[in-house]
């Protein structure tokens, strides 16, 4: 006998009740794998859009490239084919993914080779250093995309997954690294693409195994056994590197976090300032440039002795003192830091502008409500019905403070801009109509402005 809680749990989290027909799912997967015709043209344009967005450091343009990119198709095909024992689907998915990735790198490299803008902005730099969060986003986003992909009703899940699990921008960053000989950028961006592709495919495999989908049937039992071994080998080869990558990213992120905390807490001494910091996980090295007060050898030994407290026992600490020790790597680090600061400040400024604009719009709405007249846009349409020469209309309340104990006078001000001067009689009639339309005891004053 099934307990009520488990029955409720199974009903709530059932994925089969709104699943599309298996034939429809397979048809959608098949359509997304092949890169020819429409898919190939869309891929080409998505490459250029993403390259331009990275080049001009535009987040909106990059998001647009993520939405139109068809790279999810072959990745979904690999995971779906492995889950349903379809050898041909896996083979074609891997082949088309390789073709699409190679084409993306070559076209973006050609673009960055020809463009006069060669500086790496913050959006491009963000794709060169994968973190632990990228692994989690790819896995959970891929699972959400797999569920949305197999539903009867079209939803906004798949476009959202395209934005969250960025595939095109890292490949275009690889092209930038190839065109400008920034091999570290190229390696980091390709690393990020591999993480996203592997974990999206793994998520699709897991979701498809849960769903009641028919598996490919083999006529020969021996062929079926070979196919089963092949499919599970592909699944393991997909999962093991992904887990290994995830573990490596966790270790890297932990080391970098501990090193950053160590520098912030132990080397920001009174009179001494950290100019740049270079944290290299592969070499287990922390390289810091200090300026200001010179630290003595005894102080440096005391600082190094504190490495164990931050779980950095095997880390090598190099402290350079004085701006005379500034090198090209420091200059690049300073530039990256300045770009990040500028981007952060721009985001904060835009957020404050949006908040202020919302306050002003709310204030204008409140003032319009207190006048007894409709919103300016609505009132403009009503006025234009009788006075077609009116082109713009503004609405506000004017408070005139009074001396001594008299109450302040309040008037409603309606400002109009017309294409032709408004005759005095027509203006008087309009004022009387506005007064009646307001339905309050507040007088209405009309301000007229002719054409410029």
What is the rounded distance in angstroms from the CA atom of residue 256 to the CA atom of residue 248? 12
**Residue that is written with structure tokens 């599970």 in the block:** 232
Q: Are 68 and 46 a contacting pair, CB within 8 Å?
A: yes
Supply the pLDDT for residue 142: 81
Neighbouring C-beta atoms of residue 390, cutoff 10 Å: 19
Tell me what pLDDT residue 109 has: 92
CA gap 373, 381 in Å, rounded: 13
Task: Quote the pLDDT of residue 422.
Answer: 84
Beta-carbon contacts of residue 58 (< 8 Å; ≥ 6 apart): 52, 123
What is the rounded CA–CA span in Å between residue 97 and residue 78? 9
Say which residues have a Cβ less than 8 Å from residue 337's Cβ, sequence separation at least 6: 276
Q: How far apart are CA 149 and CA 25, in angstroms?
A: 8
pLDDT of res. 303: 87
Q: pLDDT at position 152, please?
A: 74
Supply angle C-alpha 261, 266, 270, rounded to 5.
125
**What does the alpha-carbon distance between residue 276 and residue 291 come to, in Å, rounded to a whole number?**
10
Q: Which residues pair with 288 in a beta bridge?
A: 277, 319
Residue ranges in the chain modelled with pLDDT below 50? none
* pLDDT tens track for 375-406: 788 888 888 888 888 888 888 777 666 555 55
pLDDT at 377: 82
CB atoms within 10 A of CB 123: 20
Tokens of 119: 């500086």
The burial class, CB within 10 Å (0-12 / 13-18 / 19+), for 5 is: exposed
How far is the C-alpha of 352 from the C-alpha of 4, rounded, in Å? Answer: 50
Q: Helices marked H in 324-375 — which ranges?
A: 328-371
């Amino acid at each position: 006998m099934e307990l009520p809680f488990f029955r409720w749990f199974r009903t709530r989290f059932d994925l089969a009740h709104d699943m599309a027909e298996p034939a429809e799912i397979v048809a959608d997967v098949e359509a997304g794998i092949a890169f020819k015709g429409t898919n190939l043209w869309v891929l080409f344009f998505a490459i250029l859009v993403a390259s331009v967005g990275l080049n001009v450091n535009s987040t909106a343009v990059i998001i647009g490239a993520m939405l139109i990119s068809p790279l999810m198709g072959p990745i979904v095909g690999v995971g779906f084919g492995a889950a349903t024992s379809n050898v041909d689907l896996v083979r074609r998915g891997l082949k088309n993914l390789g073709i699409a990735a190679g084409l993306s790198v070559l076209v973006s490299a050609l673009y960055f080779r020809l463009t006069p803008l060669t500086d790496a902005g913050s959006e491009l730099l963000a794709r060169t250093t994968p973190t632990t969060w990228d692994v989690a986003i790819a896995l959970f986003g891929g699972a959400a995309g797999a569920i949305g992909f197999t539903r009867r009703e079209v939803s906004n899940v798949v476009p959202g997954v395209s934005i969250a699990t960025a595939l095109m921008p890292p490949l275009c960053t690889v092209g930038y690294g190839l065109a400008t000989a920034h091999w570290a950028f190229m390696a980091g961006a390709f690393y990020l693409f591999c993480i996203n592709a592997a974990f999206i495919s793994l998520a699709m495999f897991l979701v498809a195994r849960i769903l009641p989908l028919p598996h490919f049937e083999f006529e020969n039992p021996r062929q079926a056994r070979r196919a089963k071994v092949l499919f599970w080998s592909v699944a393991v080869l997909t999962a093991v590197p992904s887990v290994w990558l995830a573990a490596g990213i966790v270790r890297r992120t932990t080391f970098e976090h501990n090193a950053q905390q160590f520098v912030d807490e132990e080397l920001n001494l009174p009179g001494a300032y950290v100019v740049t910091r270079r944290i290299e996980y592969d070499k287990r090295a922390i390289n810091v440039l200090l300026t200001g007060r010179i630290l003595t050898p005894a102080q440096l030994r005391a600082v190094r002795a504190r490495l164990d407290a931050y779980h950095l026992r095997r880390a090598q600490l190099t402290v350079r003192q004085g701006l005379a020790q500034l090198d090209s790597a420091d200059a690049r680090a300073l530039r990256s830091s300045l770009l990040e600061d500028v981007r952060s400040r721009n985001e904060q400024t835009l957020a404050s502008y949006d908040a202020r604009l919302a306050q002003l719009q709310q204030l204008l709405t409140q003032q319009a409500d207190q006048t007894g007249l409709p919103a300016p846009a609505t009132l403009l349409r009503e006025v234009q019905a009788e006075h077609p020469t009116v082109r713009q209309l503004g609405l506000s309340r004017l408070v005139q403070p009074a001396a001594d104990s008299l109450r302040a006078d309040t008037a409603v001000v309606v400002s109009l801009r017309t294409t032709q001067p408004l005759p005095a009689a027509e203006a008087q009639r309009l004022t009387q109509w506005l007064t009646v339309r307001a339905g309050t005891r507040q007088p209405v004053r009309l301000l007229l402005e002719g054409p410029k």
